[in-house]
C-alpha cells in the first residue's frame, strides 16, 4: 500500500511539474473524458456485482478495492490536462484505497451498503464527467447520502456492537475518513456557492 502511494504521488508530481513548465499535455482532456465514460460503466457493473451476487463476496470486495486504484487515473489526467486538484479531490482519491483495504478487504462486516451507494454515485458522477450533463442535478444528493449513511453505519457498529463482537479499529478508521470526506465535500460546495454568487453579482453589475 505504501509503495503504490509513493508511485502515485511521484507520477502526480512529475505531471504537475511538466504541466507547470510546459502547459497541458495534448490529448489529456480527451483521455480523461474517455476514462470517465469507461469508469462510469465499470462502476455500474460493479454495483450489480455488489448488490446482486451476495455469494461472490470475496470477488466483489477485491474488485471494489481495486477500483479505487483506477481512480488514480482521474487525478493524473485532470492535472495533465491543466486542471487543478483541490484538497477534497486529492485527499479523497489518495486515501480511498486505504479505506477499502482496512474496511473491505481486512474487515468486511456490513461493507455492502456503503459500497453500493458509493459505486452508484460514481456511475452517475463519471457519466457526468463523460458528457452526460442531465445527471448533474442529483450528484450533490448522491454524494451527501452515501457519506451520511456510511458515517451512520460505522457509528451504529461502534455504539451498539463496539465490544468483543467486532474489532473497533477498522470502523473508527472508516468513520474518521468518511467524516473528513464529508467536511471536505461541504467545504467544496460552500466554495462553489460563493464563486457562483460572485459571478452572478458581477453579471448584475455589468
Overall average pLDDT of the 132-145 stretch: 95
Overall average pLDDT of the 111-127 stretch: 95
User: What percentage of the chain carries pLDDT values higher than 70?
Assistant: 91
Residue 204 pLDDT greater than 60, yes or no: no
Spatial distance between the Cα atoms of 114 and 194, rounded to a whole number of angstroms:
30
From 22, 164, 158, 180, select the one nearest 87 (Cα to Cα).
180
Q: Is residue 205 very low, low, confident or very high in pLDDT (cuts 50, 70, 90)?
A: low
C-alpha count within 13 angstroms, C-beta hemisphere, residue 64: 32
pLDDT score recorded for residue 163: 59
Specify the pTM. Answer: 0.89
pLDDT, tens only, 69-91? 999 999 999 999 999 999 999 99
Dihedral of CA 53/59/62/67: which sign?
Answer: negative
Amino acid at each position: 500500500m505504501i509503495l503504490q502511494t509513493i508511485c502515485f504521488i511521484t507520477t502526480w508530481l512529475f505531471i504537475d511539474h511538466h504541466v507547470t513548465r510546459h502547459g497541458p499535455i495534448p490529448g489529456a482532456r480527451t483521455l480523461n473524458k474517455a476514462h470517465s465514460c469507461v469508469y462510469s460503466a465499470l462502476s455500474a457493473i460493479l454495483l450489480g456485482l455488489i448488490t446482486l451476487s451476495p455469494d461472490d463476496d470475496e470477488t466483489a470486495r477485491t474488485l471494489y478495492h481495486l477500483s479505487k486504484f483506477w481512480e488514480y487515473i482521474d487525478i493524473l489526467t485532470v492535472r495533465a490536462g491543466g486542471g487543478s486538484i483541490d484538497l477534497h479531490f486529492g485527499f479523497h482519491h489518495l486515501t480511498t484505497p486505504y479505506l477499502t483495504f482496512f474496511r473491505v478487504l481486512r474487515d468486511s462486516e456490513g461493507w455492502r451498503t456503503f459500497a453500493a451507494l458509493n459505486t452508484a454515485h460514481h456511475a452517475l458522477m463519471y457519466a457526468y464527467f463523460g458528457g452526460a450533463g442531465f445527471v448533474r442535478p442529483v450528484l450533490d444528493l448522491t454524494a451527501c447520502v452515501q457519506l451520511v449513511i456510511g458515517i451512520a453505519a460505522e457509528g451504529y457498529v461502534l455504539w451498539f456492537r463496539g465490544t468483543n463482537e467486532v474489532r473497533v479499529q477498522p470502523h473508527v478508521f472508516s468513520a474518521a475518513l468518511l467524516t473528513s470526506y464529508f467536511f471536505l465535500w461541504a467545504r467544496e460546495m460552500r466554495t462553489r456557492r460563493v464563486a457562483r454568487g460572485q459571478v452572478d453579482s458581477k453579471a448584475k453589475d455589468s
